Amino acid sequence: MNAQRVAAAIEATALVKTYTQGDEEIRALRGVDISVAAGEFLAITGASGSGKSTLLHILGGLDRPDEGQVWVEGSALSDLDDEALALLRRRRLGFVLQFFNLLPTLTAEENAAFPLLLDGAPDALDRARLSLERVGLGARAAHRPAQLSGGEQQRVALARALVTEPAVVLADEPTGNLDSKTSLEILELLKETAEDGQTIVMVTHDDKTAGFADRIVGLADGFLEVRPK
């Protein structure tokens, strides 16, 4: 492990991922290198089907690459067994995946507490309340998802991603199903999170959304390329 790998919050080299569908081979990633510094807000843009979700899932250890390597805070994910990987995902990474993914029978506070409840943290609900306050939803802690607007539900999802104070937040189209005003609120919160020192990797098909990040890279034909801001 070299010094550069320790310095990056999340880094990957030579990622390859190919799917087979019947006779067809879909080469989603063909050699992706990426390095994101602590406190950086990176956007990865690309058309629908360009491999953005595939890349984000591999970076977060939700899926394994066919080739290549991912390091989170210097730990190579391929060195971890399933249990160690699950712990790293839960404690060092925060996920904001498409369509909120809140449990409908739980309150906002219980949804936000979920990663801590899985870990048996005794102060899970208190920390969830703080995380909800951080995203401006302290007054809605006892509401269930059906009682919240789309933007509020996405803020609960963000509070859940932040509740463990993860090193890296991975966000997949975090504004995908929101109107422009609530999108702006979510993007501002992501920006503030990066300013607080956490690393954000966001994938989006939308150039305007990507413009909120510190740095933009594009994904096309299975490779990443630098895009001007």
Q: Where on the chain is the footprint of ligand ADP (CB under 6 A)?
A: 19, 21, 26, 28, 46, 48-54
Alpha-carbon torsion angle 211, 75, 59, 161, nearest 10: -70
Q: Closest by alpha carbon to 175, among 151, 156, 194? A: 151
- Closest-by-Cβ residue to Mg ion is 53
> Pick from Mg ion, ligand ADP, none: which does 51 bind, CB < 5 to 8 A by kind?
ligand ADP
Q: Which is nearer to ligand ADP, 49 or 136 (CB)?
A: 49
Give the full edge-to-edge strand order of the sheet including 199-204: 93-96, 168-172, 199-204, 41-45, 215-220, 223-227
Parallel, antiparallel or unpaired: strands 199-204 and 24-37? unpaired
Q: Which is nearer to Mg ion, 31 or 176 (CB)?
A: 176
Q: In angstroms, what is the minimal distance from the CB of 176 to ligand ADP? A: 10
Q: How far apart (Å, rounded) are the C-alpha atoms in residues 206 and 222? A: 18
> Pick from Mg ion, ligand ADP, none: which does 211 bind, CB < 5 to 8 A by kind?
none
Which residues contact Mg ion (rule: CB under 5 A)? 52-53
Neighbouring C-beta atoms of residue 83, cutoff 10 Å:
8
Q: Closest by alpha carbon to 201, among 51, 59, 50? A: 59
The one-character DSSP state at 139 is: G
Q: Which is nearer to ligand ADP, 62 or 117 (CB)?
A: 62
Q: Which is nearer to Mg ion, 52 or 129 (CB)?
A: 52
Signed CA dihedral, 93, 99, 102, 107: sign only? positive
Q: Which is nearer to ligand ADP, 93 or 159 (CB)?
A: 93
Q: In angstroms, what is the minimal distance from the CB of 172 to Mg ion? A: 6
Q: In angstroms, what is the minimal distance from the CB of 156 to ligand ADP? A: 23
> Pick from ligand ADP, Mg ion, none: which does 180 bind, CB < 5 to 8 A by kind?
none
Q: In angstroms, what is the minimal distance from the CB of 45 to ligand ADP? A: 9
Q: In angstroms, what is the minimal distance from the CB of 19 to Mg ion? A: 13
